[in-house]
Amino acid sequence: MRQKIVAGNWKMNTTLQEAQKLTAEVLGMAGEANSNIKIILCPPFPYLQTVKNQLGGSGIDVGAQNCNEHQSGAYTGEVSAQMLKSMEIPYVIIGHSERRQYFHEDGKLLAQKVDGALANNLKPIFCCGEPLDIREAGEHEELVKSQVEESLFHLNAEAMKKIVIAYEPVWAIGTGKTATTAQAQEMHEVIRKHLASKFGNDTANQIPILYGGSVKPDNAKELFACPDVDGGLVGGASLKSRDFVDIIKSA
């Protein structure tokens, strides 16, 4: 049985004090959730150590929102996978649609980031998904399959088992729109079958695929009930502790 995962991507939000308060609230309510669910909080870089320390031995993990493709060097303002490893950060989001859109990250660059993360024993949460024009043109399946191929198909099966994939229809991120359960399941199944074509069914069936795209308490249960949806990468709702914990409970 695949691991159920609910990860909160806080993006560029919260002050230090707000981050501490949000973490404390999630910690206080997380006992209500099923212990079989992996919970991950992904705060902004400056708060990673603070949130990690605050989580202590709670079983809730922490993840970074990005890492640079280089291990070290003259890259002012960047954070490497090696740095995250030294802080014992277990997860890192790679290829979020906002990184692709605003920072022009392509498949080749993301493959380097994946390699760097794995080399430092980090578990990548690799994001893929289509914008609205691609969806409307009926080209969404081919685009998402190509995103997965470009950044992950150079890996062997053992390395691939360390990856978490997050499918995020870009047209549903922060817009209030959500893919229907049928649309979500369809794309998760497409991704899993594509993984199977390269790595085999055994490996493909071990890889968690999360849905990301305006996940809320009122749609999470239906989405998470889909056979190929293994949890969520939650954006805006992860900034509200009650909503986030309700989403966790839905998994």
pTM of the model: 0.96
What single-letter DSSP state applies at residue 2? Answer: P
Say how many domains are in the chain. 1
| Rounded Cα gap, residues 168 and 178, in angstroms | 10
What is the domain range of residue 147?
A: 4-250
Whether residue 104 lies in the annotated active site? no
Region of 134 on the Ramachandran plot (φ > 0 left; ψ -120 to 50 alpha; else beta) = alpha
Please check whether residue 16 is in contact with residue 233, taking contact to mean a CB–CB distance below 8 angstroms: no
Q: What are phi and psi of 54, to 5 degrees?
A: -65, -35
pLDDT of residue 78: 98
28 or 32, which is more confident?
Answer: 28
Region of 78 on the Ramachandran plot (φ > 0 left; ψ -120 to 50 alpha; else beta) = beta
Q: Is the pLDDT of residue 172 over 90?
A: no
Please check whether residue 31 is in contact with residue 38, taking contact to mean a CB–CB distance below 8 angstroms: no
pLDDT of residue 55: 96
Under the banding of pLDDT at 50, 70 and 90, the label for residue 167 is: very high
Q: Is 249 exposed, middle or buried (0-12, 13-18, 19+ CB in 10 A)?
A: middle
Provide long-range contacts, Cβ within 8 A and 24+ apart, for 10-13: 10/41, 10/42, 10/43, 10/44, 10/65, 10/238, 10/239, 11/44, 11/65, 11/98, 11/235, 12/44, 13/44, 13/239
Q: What is the pLDDT of residues 205-224, one digit of tens each?
A: 999 999 998 899 999 999 99
**Which ranges constitute the DSSP H helices of 162-238?**
181-199, 201-204, 217-224
Please check whether residue 66 is in contact with residue 92, taking contact to mean a CB–CB distance below 8 angstroms: yes
* DSSP H or E segment with residue 113: helix 107-119
Tokens representing residue 238 in the block: 């992860």
Q: Is the pLDDT of residue 33 over 70?
A: no
Whether residue 96 lies in the annotated active site? yes
**Which ranges constitute the DSSP H helices of 137-240?**
140-152, 157-160, 181-199, 201-204, 217-224
- Residue of 69, 96, 98, 105 with catalytic role: 96
The CATH number of whichever domain residue 205 belongs to comes to 3.20.20.70
Q: Is the pLDDT of residue 34 over 70?
A: no
- Residue of 98, 168, 188, 194 with catalytic role: 168
Q: What is the pLDDT of residues 68-124, one digit of tens each?
A: 999 999 999 999 999 999 999 999 999 999 999 999 999 999 999 999 999 999 999
| The Cα angle at residue 80 between residues 75 and 83, in degrees rounded to 5 | 120
Please check whether residue 207 is in contact with residue 163, taking contact to mean a CB–CB distance below 8 angstroms: yes
pLDDT of residue 1: 78
Question: To the nearest whole number, what is the mean pLDDT of the chain?
Answer: 95
Q: Is the pLDDT of residue 36 over 90?
A: no
77-to-14, 73, 74, 120, 197 alpha-carbon distances in Å: 19, 11, 9, 20, 39
How many percent of the chain have pLDDT more than 70? 98
Numbers of helices and strands, H then E, in the chain: 12, 8
| Rounded Cα gap, residues 247 and 244, in angstroms | 5
pLDDT of residue 247: 96
